[in-house]
Amino acid sequence: MLKDKLAAVTGAGSGLGRGIAVRFAAEGATVVALDNNLAAAEATVADLDGNDRAHRAIGLDVSSPAAVTDVFDGLADLDVLVNCAGIREIREPLVLPAEEWDRVIAVNLSGTFYCAQAAARAMVARGAGSIINISSITGLTGFSMRPAYSASKAGVLGLTRSLSQDLAGHGVRVNAICPGLIGTAMTQAYLEDEDFVERIGMTIPMARAGDPDDVAQAALYLAGDMSSFVTGTALTVDGGFMAAGTFDPTAQGSAFTADNTLPG
């Protein structure tokens, strides 16, 4: 689906970014794996299909506009960008240090803008391109103990909608993906907790956590020609969690009752 396409993926050294890079390479793309951890990006590239293609790894701190400009100036033929780099805090809002707030916003929101802006310049010049921003269901709802993360991911949705309007006339589409609970290093501690795993079966209608490739398949759709008339959208990949609307299986509106059966 992405044969002869050049795709850049930020945060490609691990988690969702790695999963997306692997899927894109398997579908024919030449992948530029961008990550603040160059060694991790290089490890991803080593595992990509199509070693005859010019896959490459580049170290990049997306929160640095100068560094972003330097990297994307060398990607004039870019067809697809996936903004996947992200970090998270878990902290009481009353004690969240300003520097931690600033860092989360700088990576998740400002970094997404800097990369989208730099990629869009190349795409507009060529008259085509797809930019995919990774938000979160947290950006749709706001989660406790994550004020900076929630704000940044909501901001990514606003940015996506704004850019989609400005770039549509230039042949560039901008969309977002809102993953739910996905099994990555960031969520490993949750998924090793038996009580938490039991709650998954009662609060996520599909009764499981997602896999990075679930998100990668959604990104593949938004990157390729099948979504040629899709821009400015936020695609949830959450096993139905947002439809259920709660983490509490006993709450009114939950998709499941406490015994994991549909109510009524």
By annotation, the residues acting in catalysis are: 149
3-class secondary structure, 97: coil
Q: Which of 192, 215, 42 is nearest to 136 (CA)?
A: 215
Look at residue 221 and give its three-state secondary structure.
helix
For 153-182, the DSSP string reads HHHHHHHHHHHHHHHGGGTEEEEEEEE-SB
Q: What is the distance between the alpha carbons of residues 48 and 97, in angstroms, rounded to a whole number?
A: 39
Tell me which residue of 216, 36, 179 sits closest to 111, measured CA to CA. 36
Q: Is 4 exposed, middle or buried (0-12, 13-18, 19+ CB in 10 A)?
A: exposed
90: Cβ contacts below 8 Å, ≥ 6 apart: 145, 146
